[in-house]
A = this chain, B = another copy of it.
């Protein structure tokens, strides 16, 4: 596929959805020049949403992480994270009792829901296990893998409760290297396969992420899916999910998909973006 100019592409759309990692920022910090894209969009009265499989922090904390890097344009109410869907699920479907979680204290804080008591898996014991009504896998940090993954398996063998995965990614890149770390989505697949139960997964490519953003927009304006563009660096999440939801999509080559591999990967996966651009930066 031909490489297209990002500015010419976004000129055709009213609203732009961005993936975060590999598009706006990398493990080295911000993608250089990305602020120009947001300045241009504001000037052109285009709206943006950030649609991210990151359940480790709240939208407010995520926005602050951009501000600390000097990227002030990012507003927290334009960030849709898979963690928000996990929270909506708990609000709608779990009315009482304990929600056990794997993740940091900070990741758990923002799934707090009225009537529910969130507790780390490490705090579940024979006295409170019968009150556990849901289990949420939020983040790969904040717990002892050996102790708490084994405990998670045993909780799910004992209790017939929903298990919610708030981040479908298998790995994430580590700062300042080309190494990676196992993400909670990869751990979730292992636990799911071991207990033989079906987990509820939130995160791209699932449509619910896009629908959540789409609903927020429609509260304020009338919009057609034809006017929305999804920008991402990963075929299996951003592009597949955007396509399936009916959006036009741009694959950018600043993250998971390298310039040399793009053509081969598109052909071998059959996941075809509407456009391919080098980066999401407006020159």
Indicate how many identical chains form the complex: 4
Residue pair B186, A190 in contact (C-beta under 8 Å)? yes
Collect the chain B residues with CB atoms within 8 Å of residue A187's CB: 190
- Per a CB cutoff under 8 Å, which of B180, B194, B206, B270 touches A207? B206
CB within 8 Å of B: which A10-27 residues? none
- Contacts A93-B246, A145-B149, A162-B272: A194 and B198 contacting too (C-beta < 8 A)? no
Interface locus among A30-38, A60-68, A103-111, A150-158:
A150-158
Contact with B along A191-227 (1 / 0, CB 8 A): 0011111111000001110010000000000000110
Collect the chain B residues with CB atoms within 8 Å of residue A162's CB: 243, 270, 272
Q: Does A189 contact B (CB under 8 A)?
A: yes
Identify 24 residue pairs between A and B in the complex whose beta-carbon atoms are under 8 Å apart, listed by A's number.
A89-B246, A92-B246, A93-B243, A93-B246, A144-B146, A145-B149, A149-B182, A150-B181, A153-B180, A154-B179, A154-B180, A160-B270, A160-B272, A161-B270, A162-B270, A163-B270, A170-B193, A182-B190, A186-B193, A197-B269, A198-B270, A200-B240, A207-B211, A208-B244
- 5 tightest A-B contacts by CB? A197-B270, A145-B145, A190-B190, A92-B246, A145-B146
Interface centre among A163, A181, A243, A246 (most CB of B within 10 A): A246
